[in-house]
Chains A and B, each alone.
Chain A
Amino acid sequence: MKIMVAIKRVVDYAVKIRVKPDKTGVETTNVKMSMNPFCEIALEEAIRVRESGRAAEVIIVSMGPQQCVDTLRTGLAMGADRGIHVETRETLFPLSVAKLLKALIDVEKPELLIMGKQAIDDDFNQTGQMVAGLLNWPQGTFASKVVLDKEKQAVTVDREVDGGLETLCLDLPAVITTDLRLNQPRYATLPNIMKAKSKVIKKYTPDELSVQIKSDLEIVQVTEPPKRKAGVLVSSVDELIDKLKNEAHVV
Chain B
Amino acid sequence: MATRAMLGVFRKHSIASRIASNYKLLSTLVLAEHEGGSITASSVSAVEAAKSLSEDNSVSILLAGSGTSLKEAAEHAASCHPSVSQVLMSDSDKLSHALAEPWARLIHLVQQKGSYSHIIAASGSFGKNILPRAAALLDVSPITDVIEISGSHQFVRPIYAGNALCTVRYTGSDPCMLTIRSTSFPVVPISDNARSDAAPIFQVDLSTFDEDARGKSRYVKQSSQNTERPDLGNARVVVTGGRGLKSAENFKMIEKLAEKLGAAVGATRAAVDAGFVPNDLQVGQTGKIVAPELYIAFGVSGAIQHLAGMRDSKVIVAVNKDADAPIFQVADYGLVGDLFEVIPELIQKLPEKK
Residues of A that sit less than 8 Å from B by CB: 11, 13, 16-17, 19, 26, 93-95, 98, 117-118, 120-127, 129-134, 136-142, 144, 156, 159-171, 174, 179-181, 214-225, 228, 231-238, 240-241, 243-245, 248, 250-251
Asked whether, in the complex, the Cβ of B142 is within 8 Å of the Cβ of A123, the reply is no
Known contacts A162-B125, A162-B126, A164-B280; 7 additional CB pairs below 8 A are: A134-B137, A167-B219, A167-B220, A181-B279, A224-B163, A233-B323, A236-B335
Per-residue contact bits, chain B 304-334, to A (CB 8 Å; 1 contact, 0 not)? 1100000100111100000100001011111
CB-CB < 8 A to B223: which residues of A? Answer: 164-167
- A93, chain B: closest CB distance, angstroms: 5
- B127, chain A: closest CB distance, angstroms: 10
- B231, chain A: closest CB distance, angstroms: 9
Asked whether, in the complex, the Cβ of A237 is within 8 Å of the Cβ of B342, the reply is yes
Contact of A243 among B129, B225, B333, B345 (CB under 8 A): B333
Main SS of the interface on chain A? mixed
CB-CB < 8 A to A219: which residues of B? Answer: 166-168
With A137-B216, A218-B169, A237-B342 already in contact, the answer to whether A126 and B142 are too (CB < 8 A) is: yes
CB-CB < 8 A to B216: which residues of A? Answer: 137-138, 170-171, 174
CA distance A171 to B213 in the complex (A): 11
Asked whether, in the complex, the Cβ of A123 is within 8 Å of the Cβ of B141, the reply is no
Asked whether, in the complex, the Cβ of A217 is within 8 Å of the Cβ of B170, the reply is yes
Asked whether, in the complex, the Cβ of B294 is within 8 Å of the Cβ of A121, the reply is no
User: Does B207 interact with chain A (Cβ within 8 Å)?
Assistant: no
CB-CB < 8 A to B137: which residues of A? Answer: 133-134
Interface residues on B, range: 35 or more
CB-CB < 8 A to A137: which residues of B? Answer: 216
User: Does B99 interact with chain A (Cβ within 8 Å)?
Assistant: yes
Using CB atoms, name the residue of chain A closest to B108: A133
Asked whether, in the complex, the Cβ of A250 is within 8 Å of the Cβ of B159, the reply is no
Asked whether, in the complex, the Cβ of B136 is within 8 Å of the Cβ of A129, the reply is yes
Contact of B100 among A124, A141, A181 (CB under 8 A): A141
User: Does B11 interact with chain A (Cβ within 8 Å)?
Assistant: no
User: Does B193 interact with chain A (Cβ within 8 Å)?
Assistant: no
Asked whether, in the complex, the Cβ of A142 is within 8 Å of the Cβ of B351, the reply is no
CB-CB < 8 A to B351: which residues of A? Answer: 245, 251
- A32, chain B: closest CB distance, angstroms: 14
Main SS of the interface on chain B? mixed
Asked whether, in the complex, the Cβ of A225 is within 8 Å of the Cβ of B333, the reply is no
- B184, chain A: closest CB distance, angstroms: 13
Asked whether, in the complex, the Cβ of B99 is within 8 Å of the Cβ of A168, the reply is yes
CA distance A162 to B92 in the complex (A): 23
Asked whether, in the complex, the Cβ of B316 is within 8 Å of the Cβ of A231, the reply is yes
User: Does B15 interact with chain A (Cβ within 8 Å)?
Assistant: no
- B110, chain A: closest CB distance, angstroms: 16
Contact of B141 among A125, A217, A236, A245 (CB under 8 A): A217
Residues of B that sit less than 8 Å from A by CB: 99-101, 104, 124-126, 128-137, 139-145, 154, 157-173, 212-213, 215-225, 233, 237, 261, 269, 272-273, 278-280, 285-286, 288, 293-294, 304-305, 311, 314-317, 323, 328, 330-336, 342, 345-346, 349-351
CB-CB < 8 A to B100: which residues of A? Answer: 129, 132, 139, 141
Asked whether, in the complex, the Cβ of B332 is within 8 Å of the Cβ of A133, the reply is no
Contact of B311 among A132, A142, A225 (CB under 8 A): A225
- A170, chain B: closest CB distance, angstroms: 5
Asked whether, in the complex, the Cβ of B280 is within 8 Å of the Cβ of A129, the reply is no
Which 8 residue pairs of A and B lie closest in terms of their CB atoms, listed nearest first?
A: A216-B172, A133-B136, A138-B217, A129-B132, A130-B136, A126-B132, A133-B133, A164-B224
With A217-B170, A223-B165 already in contact, the answer to whether A130 and B135 are too (CB < 8 A) is: yes
CB-CB < 8 A to A19: which residues of B? Answer: 164
With A162-B126, A222-B165, A237-B345 already in contact, the answer to whether A250 and B141 are too (CB < 8 A) is: no
With A163-B225, A231-B328 already in contact, the answer to whether A241 and B144 are too (CB < 8 A) is: no
10 CB < 8 A contacts A-B: A123-B158, A130-B132, A130-B136, A133-B134, A144-B279, A217-B141, A222-B165, A237-B346, A244-B294, A250-B237
- A223, chain B: closest CB distance, angstroms: 5
CB-CB < 8 A to B233: which residues of A? Answer: 162
CB-CB < 8 A to A232: which residues of B? Answer: 332-334
CB-CB < 8 A to B237: which residues of A? Answer: 250
CB-CB < 8 A to A171: which residues of B? Answer: 215-217
